[in-house]
């Protein structure tokens, strides 16, 4: 038995070593080689993970690292706005909120926060802000704070949950037309779970939302799911949840809150499959979907066929149109359909009827087990869908035709949390004007320039001088259009200048900003290497000719001596 055991152990070691060898070969040899050979990223190879789970790019001028976004389908009718993501995932590089343009180029990213979700442009007192949650993710909830950045990317406001032990959750931060904030909270509480076959003195993960005055931090309203829904309304089956305080049972799982013009709240519950309308007094007005559904489906069951959904919003209160993201999955034990999709529903509140208008599915019908969003773009009426746990965002015509689709990671790896964004949105109204200057760096004979967050830069102007002492000594040397996040100027033919700076110009030629002055010291390493090689070649040639001359002379001398002896 001992030789058999040793043989089995050797085989196991070889198999494990082979798996690791293949993994590291693909990750650190084959994938980088493919990226080098195909810098434009073939979309098919990208989707199949040939470049890795999430190909990354870095920059000389900053320490930022972001996914390389791949365009899978494009159409001239797609809007040219900015795409807002919150980059997370084990292969997506440093976490943080990020903005990309319509050409997949980075516009802005912050890596100064920990886990972040739900990057949005929202209006507060007539001014636009970048808003997001940042903190610590604990299971499927979050513990953190909500941030509001002004157009210079400075922190203008910070909003927190109100109450002892209350912590702001990652799922929602919505600024209302009343200049208040809606935010979600998860709180552990004791509850009777005997109706679920668990302990009568069990533990429940309750879902709450608060409305808070942004300016004062005052609590204006609070609603708690456990006071209005029964634990038996849930579709979630967690055999281990609810028995101990450290692992409570999440029966409701709130993930979006909105407020309409009448002051009513629209709440999405993932685990009860419901969208609920709540009055300003906290009374349930109606329930759409789930076990407590109050609506008749005029589409033969298709309108109510949403499961584990996210991001329920009014598209038009007057017309009764509502949008949501239908996940159809909550992990491998809760799969209720082939693919995730955006849904547009028509509600008749007075008659309690609902009708399915349109659906929106990704190119290859991905199914996201969590997260996701749907947005109706105000300009074109197009629909923009972020597929959450699957690294995809897509734009559709209102009738459901796919126009454009982009991937910021390989979708084939999405079950393993390699690259995700809780929501994705597209905006045309964000203007970033950083107060810090453009960043410049010189490597070899190339000057690199970027300006993280600046949205109005149309071109870069390179200026040079022989000294930094005289401001008027700087001369305009070169200009190029800004097409990528980081642009480059070649300095190889500009030996007469030792000091450089770059000026950012708007489309009308207005100066937006100016970099610090950098000193250029030509890199002579390659030139000296070339001279050294040439010198060695010449020495070798001279030596060879000397050797041949000496050899010929020696042969002649031997021949002469032989003749004399004769």
Residue with tokens 């126009």: 403
The CATH number of residue 122's host domain is 2.120.10.30
Q: What are phi and psi of 197, to 5 degrees?
A: 80, 15
Distant-in-sequence contacts of 23-29, Cβ < 8 A, 24+ apart: 26/52, 27/52
Strands 296-297 and 353-360, how do they pair?
parallel
Calpha distance 15→534 (Å, rounded): 52
Q: Are residues 258 and 355 in the same domain?
A: yes
Q: Give a yes or no: residue 433 inside a domain.
A: no
Q: Give a yes or no: residue 45 inside a domain.
A: no
Q: Are residues 95 and 12 in the same domain?
A: no
pLDDT, one tens digit per residue, over 342-395 is 999 999 999 999 999 999 999 999 999 999 999 999 989 999 999 999 999 999
Last residue of a domain, one of 407, 427, 447: 427
Q: What is the DSSP letter of 114?
A: S
HEC profile of 371-415: CCEEEECCCCCCEEEECCCCCEEEEECCCCCEEEEEECCCHHHHH
Residue 37: pLDDT above 80? Answer: no
pLDDT at 222: 98
State the pLDDT confidence band at 260, using cuts at 50, 70 and 90: very high
Q: Are residues 111 and 182 in the same domain?
A: yes
Q: Are residues 380 and 456 in the same domain?
A: no
Per the prediction, the chain carries an average pLDDT of: 92
Residue 24: pLDDT above 80? Answer: no
At 355, list the tokens: 């009708």
Q: Residue 442 CB: number of other CB atoms within 10 A?
A: 17
pLDDT mean over 149-174: 98
Q: Residue 508 CB: number of other CB atoms within 10 A?
A: 7
Q: Give a yes or no: residue 538 inside a domain.
A: no
pLDDT at 502: 98
pLDDT at 549: 62
SS3 444: coil
pLDDT mean over 102-115: 95
pLDDT at 33: 54
Calpha distance 129→151 (Å, rounded): 7
Q: Are residues 507 and 411 in the same domain?
A: no
SS3 94: coil
Beta bridge partners of 206: 187
Q: Are residues 21 and 75 in the same domain?
A: no
Residue 27: pLDDT above 90? Answer: no
State the pLDDT confidence band at 297, using cuts at 50, 70 and 90: very high
When comparing pLDDT for 95 and 21, which is higher? 95
If one counts the domains in the chain, the total is: 3
Calpha distance 209→222 (Å, rounded): 6
SS3 146: strand
Residue 437: pLDDT above 70? Answer: yes
For residue 489, the enclosing domain spans: 439-519
The dihedral through the CA atoms of 235, 237, 238, 243 has a sign that is: positive
Q: Give a yes or no: residue 552 inside a domain.
A: no
Residue 474: pLDDT above 70? Answer: yes
SS3 188: strand
State the pLDDT confidence band at 81, using cuts at 50, 70 and 90: very high
Q: Are residues 231 and 343 in the same domain?
A: yes
pLDDT mean over 70-95: 97
92 closest CA partner among 366, 310, 389: 389
249 closest CA partner among 189, 307, 301: 189
Calpha distance 505→244 (Å, rounded): 60
pLDDT at 557: 61
Q: Are residues 32 and 107 in the same domain?
A: no
Q: Are residues 9 and 76 in the same domain?
A: no
Residue 522: pLDDT above 80? Answer: no
pLDDT mean over 453-471: 94
Q: Residue 486 CB: number of other CB atoms within 10 A?
A: 21
pLDDT at 41: 78
Q: Residue 73 CB: number of other CB atoms within 10 A?
A: 15
In percent, the amount of the chain with pLDDT more than 90 equals 83
Calpha distance 152→431 (Å, rounded): 9
The CATH number of residue 453's host domain is 2.60.40.10
């Amino acid at each position: 038995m001992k030789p058999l055991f040793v043989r089995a152990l050797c085989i196991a070691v070889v198999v494990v070593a082979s798996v690791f060898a293949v993994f590291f070969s693909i990750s650190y040899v084959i994938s980088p080689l493919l990226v080098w050979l195909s810098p434009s990223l073939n979309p098919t190879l990208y989707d199949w993970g040939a470049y890795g789970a999430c190909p990354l790019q870095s920059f000389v001028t900053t320490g930022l690292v972001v996914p390389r976004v791949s365009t899978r389908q494009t159409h001239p009718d797609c809007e040219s706005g900015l795409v807002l993501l919150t980059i997370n995932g084990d292969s997506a590089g440093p976490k943080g909120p990020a903005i990309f343009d319509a050409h997949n180029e980075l516009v802005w990213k912050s890596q100064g926060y920990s886990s972040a979700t739900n990057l949005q442009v929202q209006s507060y007192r007539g001014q636009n802000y970048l808003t997001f949650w940042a903190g610590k993710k604990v299971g499927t909830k979050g513990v953190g704070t909500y941030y509001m950045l002004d157009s210079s990317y400075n922190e203008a406001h910070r909003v927190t949950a109100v109450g002892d032990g209350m912590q702001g959750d990652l799922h929602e931060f919505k600024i209302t037309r009343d200049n208040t904030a809606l935010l979600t909270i998860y709180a552990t509480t004791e509850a009777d779970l005997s109706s679920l076959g668990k302990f009568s003195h069990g533990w429940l993960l309750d879902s709450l939302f608060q409305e808070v005055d942004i300016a004062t931090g005052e609590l204006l309203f609070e609603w708690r799911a456990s006071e209005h829904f029964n634990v038996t309304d849930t579709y979630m089956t967690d055999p281990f949840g609810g028995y101990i305080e450290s692992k409570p049972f999440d029966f409701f799982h709130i993930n979006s809150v909105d407020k309409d013009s009448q002051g009513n709240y629209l709440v999405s519950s993932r685990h009860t499959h419901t969208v609920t309308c709540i009055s300003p007094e906290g009374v349930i007005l109606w329930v759409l979907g789930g076990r407590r559904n109050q609506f008749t489906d005029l589409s033969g069951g298709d309108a109510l066929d949403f499961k584990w959904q996210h991001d329920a919003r009014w598209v038009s209160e007057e017309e009764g149109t509502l949008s949501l993201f239908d996940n159809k999955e909550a992990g491998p034990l809760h799969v209720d359909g082939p693919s995730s999709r955006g849904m547009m529903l028509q509600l008749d509140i007075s008659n309690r009827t609902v009708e399915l208008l349109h659906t929106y599915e990704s190119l290859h019908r991905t199914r996201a087990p969590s997260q996701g969003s749907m947005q109706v773009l105000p300009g074109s009426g197009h629909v923009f869908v972020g597929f959450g746990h699957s690294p995809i965002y897509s734009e559709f015509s209102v009738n459901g035709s796919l126009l454009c689709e982009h991937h910021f990671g390989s979708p084939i790896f999405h079950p393993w949390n390699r690259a995700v964004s809780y929501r994705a949105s597209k905006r045309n109204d964000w203007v970033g004007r950083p107060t810090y200057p453009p960043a410049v760096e010189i490597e070899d004979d190339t000057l690199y320039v970027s300006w993280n967050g600046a949205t109005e830069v149309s071109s870069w102007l390179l200026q040079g001088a022989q000294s930094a002492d005289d401001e008027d000594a700087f001369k305009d040397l070169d200009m190029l259009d800004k097409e990528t996040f980081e642009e480059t100027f070649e300095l190889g033919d500009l030996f007469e200048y030792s000091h450089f700076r770059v000026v950012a110009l708007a489309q009308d030629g207005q100066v937006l900003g100016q970099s610090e002055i950098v000193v250029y010291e030509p890199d002579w390493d390659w030139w000296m290497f070339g001279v050294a090689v040439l010198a060695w070649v010449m020495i070798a040639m001279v030596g060879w000719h000397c050797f041949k001359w000496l050899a010929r002379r020696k042969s002649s001398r031997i021949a002469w001596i032989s003749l004399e002896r004769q």
